[in-house]
Structure 1
Amino acid sequence: MPTPTKGPRLGGGPAHERIMLANLSANLFEHKKITTTVTKAKRLRPYAERLITFAKKGDLASRRKVQGIISAKNRTNKTIVHELFTVIGPAMAAREGGYTRITKIGNRHGDNAPMAVIELVMEPVSAKQAVVQEAEKAAEVAAPAAEAPVAEAPAEETPATDAPAVEASETETVESEAAETPAADTSAAEDSAEEKTDEK
Structure 2
Amino acid sequence: MNKRNKVKHLNREKGHRDALINNMITSLFKYERIESTQAKLKVVRSHAEKIITRAKKNLGDVAPEIKLHNKREVLKRVKDRNIVTKLFEDIAVRFANTNGGYTRILKLVNRPSDNSEVGILELTNRKDRPTLLKEIREKREVFSDEKKAKAAKEAPPKKEKAPKKVAAEKKKTTAAPKKKAAAKPKKKK
- With normalisation by structure 2, the TM-score equals 0.58
The question of 1:85 aligning with 2:93 is answered no
Q: Equivalent residues in 2 for 1:1-200 (5 A)?
A: 5-6=5-6, 8-58=8-58, 59-70=67-78, 72=79, 77-122=80-125
Could you say what secondary structure the match of 1:118 adopts? Answer: strand
Q: Structure 2: how far apart are the matches of 1:57 and 1:15?
A: 28
1:56: how far off? 0.4
Q: Structure 2: how far apart are the matches of 1:11 and 1:39?
A: 11
Alpha-carbon distance change, 20 to 3 in structure 1, aligned in 2, over 3 angstroms: farther
1:6: how far off? 2.0
Q: Structure 2: how far apart are the matches of 1:106 and 1:11?
A: 22
Greater alpha carbon shift after TM alignment, 114-123 vs 35-44:
114-123
Q: Structure 2: how far apart are the matches of 1:111 and 1:4?
A: 31
Q: Deviations over 1:36-80 (max 9, x none)?
A: 10001111111000000111012221011101222x3xxxx1111
RMSD, aligned α-carbons: 2.0
Q: Structure 1: how far apart are the matches of 2:25 and 2:102?
A: 13
1:87: how far off? 0.5
Q: Deviations over 1:84-114 (max 9, x none)?
A: 1111011111001001000101101211111
Q: Give structure 1 regions of 4+ aligned residues with deviation exceeding 3 angstroms.
A: none
Q: Deviations over 1:165-184 (max 9, x none)?
A: xxxxxxxxxxxxxxxxxxxx
Instruction: Tell me which structure has the larger Cα radius of gyration.
Output: 1
- What letter corresponds to residue 106 of structure 2 in structure 1? T
Q: Deviations over 1:112-132 (max 9, x none)?
A: 111000000116xxxxxxxxx
Q: Which has the higher contact order (CA 8 A, sep 6+)?
A: 2
Higher helix share: 1
Could you say what secondary structure the match of 1:122 adopts? Answer: coil
1:13: how far off? 1.2
Identical aligned residues as a percent: 34
- What letter corresponds to residue 26 of structure 1 in structure 2? T
Alpha-carbon distance change, 4 to 16 in structure 1, aligned in 2, over 3 angstroms: farther
Q: Structure 1: how far apart are the matches of 2:39 and 2:115?
A: 13
Flag structure 2 segments of 5+ consecutive residues without an equivalent: 59-66, 127-189
- With normalisation by structure 1, the TM-score equals 0.55
Q: Structure 2: how far apart are the matches of 1:31 and 1:7?
A: 26
Q: Structure 2: how far apart are the matches of 1:115 and 1:87?
A: 28
Flag structure 1 segments of 5+ consecutive residues without an equivalent: 124-200
